[in-house]
Structure 1
Amino acid sequence: MNRIQQLLPNDYALVRLSSTMLNKSIIDANALLRYLLNDFEIINYDNISSGNKVFENGIFITNSEAFDLKCSFYKANARGDKRFWIYGLNSLVKDGIIQIGDLIYITVAYVDGLNRIIIINLSHSQPDTDILSRIIGIDEITAAKEELIEKIRRTVVGFQIPNSNGNGKASPRDVGDTLEHHLGLSMNNFKGADYKGLIELKAKSGEALTSLFTLRPEFENTPISKIEPIDRNRVAAFQLEYGYISLKKPNDKSLYVTIGNQPNPQGFYLKVDEKKELVNLLHLDSHSNAPIITAYFTFEKLREALYKKHPSTLWLKANKTYDIANDIVYFDYYAAEFTRTPKFASFVDLIQKGVITYDWRGSTSMVTGKNRNHGNPWRIAPENIELLFNDYEIIDF
């Protein structure tokens, strides 16, 4: 898998081949496979009518060759169970290329101008790097990474770079803004990756938690939705309901908290509901101490935000020096790590373990109802970043 991921760092699904699958010519299309096919605009099960089949050609790659195999995708029975089948599997078993119990790896690659389904047997007849490279080629992220690292070496490494945001002590975001400024990139808060839409840039000076992405929760069918019927006003209502009186602004209710897998001092914590595919934001009732779902995040939106922001990421480390005489901070960018292909299953697992946390950062005026929100990020400690991605590399400047 590591060899495949180095050349083809896209998401993937795994299928353990059983005798039942072969006998009935049926394989369940699990959520990871459905996400994969939908992301690459190959198959959207929502658009398949029950009883109809959609066909696509996949490429089966062995240790010596690659050949097309037809795949069908459909919904079965009255429940609309999502299924698929790879034609020719039984013949591959007879030829000894596949055996019952083998682990089948399914992903997507851009081949000859099209997104193609790629099928590989991880247990037997595994392809080597040469045949994978010949079929798949060098992906655009690898090319962009090499270009970006060379640009960083020429532009900032080995130099004391003055804070692009001017004089005075630096704010936490200045180290990233300065890097993007000197690389000639426009500073942004949009949800896609910074460099060519392929590589996210993250720079830090210190060991504070690293922000992964920001995402507003949903409130439908929670107490907040009963308090405030208009969805766009529910963040402000949440802060009025659960916030505390601000010391700096006594007319405001503020909520600046970090929320993990255990109740924090304000009674907030996160809990994963895998069956419903939700991450719930719970609050302990002040009277009964019973947990109440105050907001939630769907797996679908969390996954979309993670994958869109971090298809690949260059995490730079910098030292900062404050020049008192000239009242300016200088940054020295000295090291980097490169990651690619987030693992959403790991993202969920790390929430459950308290490794990934969620910050609520905002306030609402009790007089005017005006909302101030500074972005609510999902965050992780720098030393745990490696756990979240399929591919991890230390960059030598």
Structure 2
Amino acid sequence: MLTSADIDLSLIAKKLLEKNLQFSFLVPTETALKKSIIDAHDSFRAFLKQQDIHDYKDQQKGTKHKKIVSASILSNGEIAESKISLYRPETKDGDPRLWVYGLSKYASPNNVIAVIYHKNNLFVLNCSEYNNFEKHLNSGLFDTDDHKTISPIANELLAKLRNISSKGFIKTITPGDTGIGMTLESLLEIQANSSREPDYKGIELKSKRTRSRGNRAREQLFSKVPIWKSSPISKAVELIKLRGYIDKDGSEALRHTISADKPNSLGLYLEVDQENDILKQMHYDSETEKSTYDVCWKLSELKQALLKKHKETFWVYARGRGKGANEEFHYIEVTHTQKPAIEKFDILLETGLLTVDYTMHIKENGQVRDHGYLFKIKPEAFSILFPAPILYSLES
């Protein structure tokens, strides 16, 4: 349903999430508007359930069991009172349906309609009418406050990083991509180990080279292996052989970014099934126009991995110069985050702002070599997942 949207969903989602809003999207078709019937897709049903508004699973079929909830349609700077009907018809297995009273006057086919829950009220906003969308979003109706404090441990770590920065460029202790993090940990006298616990007294450290401002790459959040025993494809080697390609070294490989907003060049995409607590990696065959389910993760386990990894994090950036064993780093900046907004995880996945990278190939001995199943956040969505990040310069 959402794939027919006439405006970039990730753009709209980013602006709504920056306001710390709870919402779900509807994209009504021409038929839906004519018949005053919209299918209540999985994400919308989960949204209603999460806000304790309605649970379709508990609803019986038929019009006499229809539930009516109050809502307000936002249009041209005005608020029009409306209602939303939630029901399951006697026909078609009682597939969940809804209708926003009067929606046809405010929407055209394939418009993106956001249903927003804010301060115990439902609001309906046409996001495809962009000027209208921005006017209401910035009217003050949805403003919230979000303040963070810095702990003594964070202050202690910040002071140490500023001392390290004052030394200027420091030679890496090992060549390659891992050098920047290992060098910093060595300077902080953190012992190298394989533990997944936070690096510095409960604070996670993530280090990377700087890029030009406004051109930072996706941030890696964590790695999580699919649940092979619950997936149609039960091994990494099978996934590579079925969906992979031959790389420049002649190896069978699968290195690709996968998102939910559209299939990538290999036909791979993500599908969020909130109702069953599953994130699926799917494959779309353009010739048959059919999709196949490959592997899955539990959404709840992904969220727990994020909470455990990034309860509090220092994202440290450094300038680099030189190459290989002679590379040097000057640590210059920190972004400090606390308590990721876990309730936004699903919508970030759905709109393509949070992605998964496959990083694997088959070695000559037939074994799979991988660098993890990497969950990454796009730079424009970083402050959405981590509200009110604090930026520190280490050079001052």
Band of TM-score, shorter chain: 0.5 to 0.7
Q: How many residues align?
A: 256
Q: Distance in 1 between matches of 2:223 and 2:295?
A: 15
Superposed, 1:114-263 pairs within 5 Å as: 142-166=151-175, 171-196=176-201, 198-205=202-209, 206=211, 207-225=216-234, 234-249=235-250, 252-261=251-260, 262-263=262-263
Q: Which amino acid aligns with 1:303?
A: K
Residue 39 (structure 2) aligns with:
none
Deviation at 1:294, TM superposition (A): 0.5
CA contact (8 A) 2:240 2:361 kept: yes
Native 8 Å contact 2:361 2:369 kept in 1: yes
Name the amino acid aligned to 1:182.
L
Q: How far 1:378 moved relative to its partner?
A: 0.7
Secondary structure at the aligned position of 1:354 is classed as coil
Task: Specify the alignment match of 1:306 in structure 2.
Answer: 306
Residues 272, 157 of structure 1: alpha-carbon distance in 2 compared, 3 angstrom cutoff:
farther
Structure 2 counterpart of 1:322, which letter? G
What is the CA distance between 1:220 and its match in structure 2?
3.9
Shift of 1:32: 10
Contact 1:256 1:359 in 2 (8 A): yes
CA separation of 1:383/1:318 partners in 2, compared to 1, >3 Å: closer, same or farther?
Answer: farther
- How far apart in 2 are the matches of 1:200 and 1:383? 21
* Cα distance in 1, alignment partners of residues 355 and 275 from structure 2: 21
Contact 1:256 1:362 in 2 (8 A): yes
Indicate conservation of the 8 Å contact 2:332/2:393, yes or no. no
Tell me how far 1:298 sits from its aligned partner. Answer: 0.9
Q: Find the counterpart in structure 1 of residue 347 from structure 2.
A: 349
Letter paired with 2:248? L
Q: Indicate the percent of aligned positions where both proteins have the same amino acid.
A: 28
- Deviation of 1:316 (Å): 1.3
The secondary structure found in structure 2 opposite 1:376 is strand
- Alignment TM-score, normalising by the size of structure 2: 0.58
1:189 shift after superposition = 5.0
3-state SS of paired residue (2:320): strand
Show the counterpart of 1:293. 293
What's the CA shift for 1:342? 0.7
Tell me if the contact between 1:158 and 1:333 (Cα under 8 Å) persists in the aligned partners.
no
Which sits farther off after the overlay, 301-310 or 385-394?
A: 385-394
List aligned pairs for 1:352-371, cutoff 5 A. Answer: 352-365=350-363, 368-371=365-368
Partners of 2:354 and 2:245 lie apart in 1 by 24
Amino acid at match of 2:334: A
SS in structure 1 at match of 2:339: strand
SS of 1:375's partner is: strand
Letter of the aligned partner of 1:380 in structure 2? I
1:316-335 Cα shifts (integer Å, max 9, x gaps) = 111111179xx611111111
- Which of residues 366, 375, 379 in structure 2 aligns to 1:378? 375
Whole-Å separation in 2 of the counterparts to 1:221 and 1:394: 41
Unpaired runs of at least 5, structure 1: 1-13, 15-29, 34-100, 104-128, 130-137, 226-233
Is the alpha carbon distance of 1:212 and 1:157 closer, same or farther for their aligned partners in structure 2, counting shifts above 3 Å?
Answer: farther
Distance 1:362 1:333, change over 3 A: same
1 CA distance for matches of 2:231 and 2:390?
Answer: 42
Superposition map of 1:3-18 within 5 A = none
CA shift, 1:212, in A, is 0.6
